[in-house]
Amino acid sequence: MTIGIGLLGLGTVGAGVAAILATPQGRHPLVADLELKRVAVRDLARPRPVALAEGLLCTDPEAVVDDPAVEIVVEVMGGLEPARSLILRAIAAGKPVVTANKAVIARYGDEIAAAAQAQGVYVLIEAAVGGGIPIIEPLKQSLGGNRIQRVSGIINGTTNYILSRMAAEGAAYGAVLADAQQLGYAEADPAADVQGGDAADKIAILAGLAYGGPVDRAAIATEGIDRLDARDVDYAARLGFVVKLLAVAEHVGQDDDGVQKLDVRVHPTLLPKHHPLAGVHGVNNAILVEGDPIGQVMFFGPGAGAGPTASAVVADILNIAGIRQVGGASAGLDPLLAASSWNRCRLVDGLDSQHRNYLRLLTRDEAGVIGQIGSCFGAAGVSIQSIVQYETDGPGAEMAAGAEIVVITHQVQEARFRGALAAIKALDAVESVAACLRTL
Ligand code: NAP
Ligand code: HSE
């Protein structure tokens, strides 16, 4: 029995999916039952890396959703609209949906899940986070017996590819970003990658699954790598760290009325070279889940690109196809596979979080400056792990007779560190805070 697939989009991911469906040999036998019935694109004349049967392509995505031969709708077109409306249209027609669109799910996941629940159809999103890494299904199912304390990870392939090449080759940021676009890793608008928005979408989704309730995407503190200075990547390496764009969702407590308090954020972070996430290079992603009683479990693999992402999309299609094959849809939705919500969550400001800090200051090069900085830290109860002075003879040496002072603090409460930083900024000898990065 064949199952009709409608593809919305035939770009990087869509073409990867079509390539798998066209070559079922050696894969799970159910793949051979999946038949591409219709495909929507914007531009019919654009050359495609896969050969499709005559008449499959069209420029009307609604017609793909509405086509009676299409039983599963696969949304891989990206963007918020018309993607959201098309997903809702498919659900309203009783058709299950597979999507890789984290931007839509992070913002409208609640609305979509409610509609899907009401209609009794699945909306599966494995490809939305971590590219080819199975992480959505493990969080929904395999780790369900745990209390999750923290989910942290490198969940944007483009930025990890850029940072890895900057660190390994001293490659220029712009050139490496162009390579990431060419390789199909970057979003249509790569600002979402480099400014941290894509990682914030993904950590919103992971937090929602880990803690059982939607999180407010707009409230996630987000900083990308677009303002990261190559000097800091270099100094970090000299001090024994690598810089990664980290996304973190941490359970920090519970309100009296049972609302879960979460600290969720995205920012460049210094990781000690021996940290499990420090060895994740190139387009690879890794997600570290810490829970009780599992302890730590890490998921690693390619985080973007046609093949890996299509692997995750096809896994979701197969899940739906498998349930259909045993007639399971009529028995209602499996609560472990469908998106379910059992908690309310709210984000906190992170002022209580404890971590180390990397600080680069541009200062006057004169006696006593390091002492004054040390006094500010001391007065605020912040302990210094290391303090190094570099001469400002390279880029950033705008000041006459300037110095660069790089400080790594010991672990300290964020609020306390901010107090010390305010006092340091007010010192006459301190021209500017050139960089301030969290450090694990
Ligand atoms: P892409 O290469 O830009 O492809 C988008 C496809 O959708 C194109 O085929 C485009 O048609 C079609 N499309 C866009 N708007 C349309 C419209 N209004 N009507 C009809 N067709 C339309 O994007 P992608 O990289 O494959 O990403 C697709 C989705 O997967 C996004 O949500 C993205 O965030 C997500 N994702 C991507 C990756 C990755 O590695 N690339 C990984 C995980 C998740 P034309 O070809 O004619 O322009
Ligand atoms: N642009 C995204 C990334 C694609 O680089 O990680 C995978 O979601």
- Ligand 1 pocket test, candidate residues 7, 73, 156, 309, most atoms within 8 A of CB: 309
pLDDT for 18: 98
If you measure from the C-alpha of residue 410 to the centroid of ligand 1, how many angstroms do you get, rounded to a whole number?
44
Domains of the chain and CATH, by start? 3-132+306-342 (3.40.50.720), 140-302 (3.30.360.10), 350-439 (3.30.70.260)
Does any ligand 2 atom lie closer than 6 A to the CB of residue 177? no
pLDDT of residue 402: 87
Distance of CA 246 from the midpoint of ligand 1 (Å): 25
* Angstrom distance (rounded) from CA 196 to CA 202: 10
For residue 305, the ligand 1 atom closest to its alpha carbon is 40
Cβ proximity of 309 and 278 under 8 Å = no
Q: For residue 78, give the ligand nearest its CA.
A: 1
pLDDT in tens, the chain (440 residues): 899 999 999 999 999 999 999 999 999 999 999 999 999 999 999 999 999 999 999 999 999 999 999 999 999 999 999 999 999 999 999 999 999 999 999 999 999 999 999 999 999 999 999 999 999 999 999 999 999 999 999 999 999 999 999 999 988 889 999 999 999 999 999 999 999 999 999 999 999 999 999 999 999 999 999 999 999 999 999 999 999 999 999 999 999 999 999 999 999 999 999 999 999 999 999 999 999 999 999 999 999 999 999 999 999 999 999 999 887 656 689 999 998 899 999 999 989 899 999 999 999 989 999 999 999 999 999 999 999 998 765 444 444 468 999 999 999 999 999 999 999 999 999 999 999 999 99
Cα–Cα distance measured from residue 48 to residue 294, given in angstroms and rounded to the nearest whole number: 45
pTM: 0.96
First-to-last CA distance in the chain? 53
Q: Is the dihedral of CA 305, 308, 313, 314 positive or negative?
A: positive
CB atoms under 10 Å from CB of 84, counted, come to: 20
CA 413, CA 357: separation in Å to the nearest integer?
A: 10
Q: Report CA dihedral (54, 60, 62, 64) to the nearest 10 degrees.
A: 10
Q: Which of 158, 163, 266 to mutate to test the pocket of ligand 2 (most atoms within 8 A of CB)?
A: 158
Dihedral of alpha carbons 148, 309, 179, 189, sign: negative
Measured by CA distance, the residue closest to atom 12 of ligand 1 is: 9
- pLDDT at position 328: 67
For residue 96, is the peptide bond before it cis, meaning its omega torsion is within 30 degrees of 0? no
Q: How far apart are CA 360 and CA 383, in angstroms?
A: 16
Whether residue 414 contacts residue 353, with contact meaning beta carbons closer than 8 Å, is answered with: yes
Ligand 2 pocket, residue 157 CB under 6 Å: yes
Ligand 2 atom nearest to 285, measured from its CA: 6
Residue ranges around ligand 1 (CB below 6 Å): 9-14, 40-43, 46, 61, 76-78, 82, 100-102, 127, 131, 184-185, 187-188, 304-305, 309
CB-count exposure of residue 366 (10 Å: 0-12, 13-18, 19+):
exposed
* Interatomic CA distance for residues 424 and 426, integer angstroms: 5
Q: Which residue's structure tokens are 């929602």?
A: 208
How far apart are the C-alpha atoms of 425 and 431, rounded to whole Å? 8
**Amino acid code (one letter) for 202:** K
Residues identified as active-site: 202
Question: What pLDDT was estimated at residue 171?
Answer: 86
